[in-house]
Copies of this chain bind each other. A is one copy, B any other.
Amino acid sequence: MNLLYLLDLIGTIAFAASGALAGVRRGMDLFGVLVLGMVTAIGGGTLRDLLLGDLPPFCLRNETYLWLPVATALLVFISHRFLPKIEQPLLYLDAVGLGTFVVIGTGKAIAFQTGPLGAVLMGVMTGTAGGVIRDVLSNEIPLIMRREIYASACILGGGLLVMLRHLGMTENLSLLLSATSVILLRLMAIRYNWSLPKAT
């Protein structure tokens, strides 16, 4: 499980950086940048723990999940002039975080005995709700509801994990496979500019 924990921390940093960067771009003060960095990084997992009734949530039990976003947001606030250079790498790290968050969320829901659709939903929420809260606080329609293969990668990853576990694959292998699928799909969506259909 140590690899998953490492990926989880990388994802936390990547999500915090993207949230803080959004705050800087929208002209927020230091506190606003801190808040956007934190909610983006821990909002999804916190909402999942609230719904599963596993309280206090992960970030209040292991403060690493609080200190990392705070430090990342501070760093972004101070050094934001240099950030355009790392925006592309950040996008890749974000994909790593997304895949990891999704399988952690779905895996935890399975352990909490939700049904299959509930487990996928908890995974998608773990991966995406932080970004949704970031956009709501920035007074924008959540990015995820308007474009791109982002949420759909989460749905596929969560669904794959539910299926693999149902077929009897070991936890570690199924987590690894599902996370990898989300990450690869997401990287290809970035590379080839894929998007979902709209109702027309």
Interface residues of A (CB under 8 A from B): 23-24, 26-33, 35-36, 46, 50-53, 55-57, 59-60, 63, 66-67, 70, 77, 80, 112, 114-118, 121, 132, 136-142, 144-147, 151-152, 155, 195-199
The interface residues of chain B lying within 8 Å CB-to-CB of A70 are: 117
A62: nearest chain-B partner, CB-CB: B115
The interface residues of chain B lying within 8 Å CB-to-CB of A80 are: 199
Counted per complex, copies of this chain come to: 3
Task: Report whether A146 and B32 are in contact in the complex, using a CB–CB cutoff of 8 Å.
Answer: yes
CB distance from A126 to the nearest CB of B (A): 14
Task: Report whether A117 and B67 are in contact in the complex, using a CB–CB cutoff of 8 Å.
Answer: yes
A50: nearest chain-B partner, CB-CB: B50
Task: Report whether A141 and B138 are in contact in the complex, using a CB–CB cutoff of 8 Å.
Answer: yes
CB distance from A20 to the nearest CB of B (A): 9
CB distance from A43 to the nearest CB of B (A): 12
The interface residues of chain B lying within 8 Å CB-to-CB of A27 are: 146, 198
A112: nearest chain-B partner, CB-CB: B56
Task: Report whether A53 and B56 are in contact in the complex, using a CB–CB cutoff of 8 Å.
Answer: yes
The interface residues of chain B lying within 8 Å CB-to-CB of A26 are: 141
The interface residues of chain B lying within 8 Å CB-to-CB of A139 are: 139-141
The interface residues of chain B lying within 8 Å CB-to-CB of A36 are: 145
The interface residues of chain B lying within 8 Å CB-to-CB of A77 are: 199
Q: How far is the CA of A197 from the CA of B30 in the complex (A)?
A: 7
CB distance from A89 to the nearest CB of B (A): 20
Task: Report whether B24 and A199 are in contact in the complex, using a CB–CB cutoff of 8 Å.
Answer: yes
The interface residues of chain B lying within 8 Å CB-to-CB of A57 are: 51
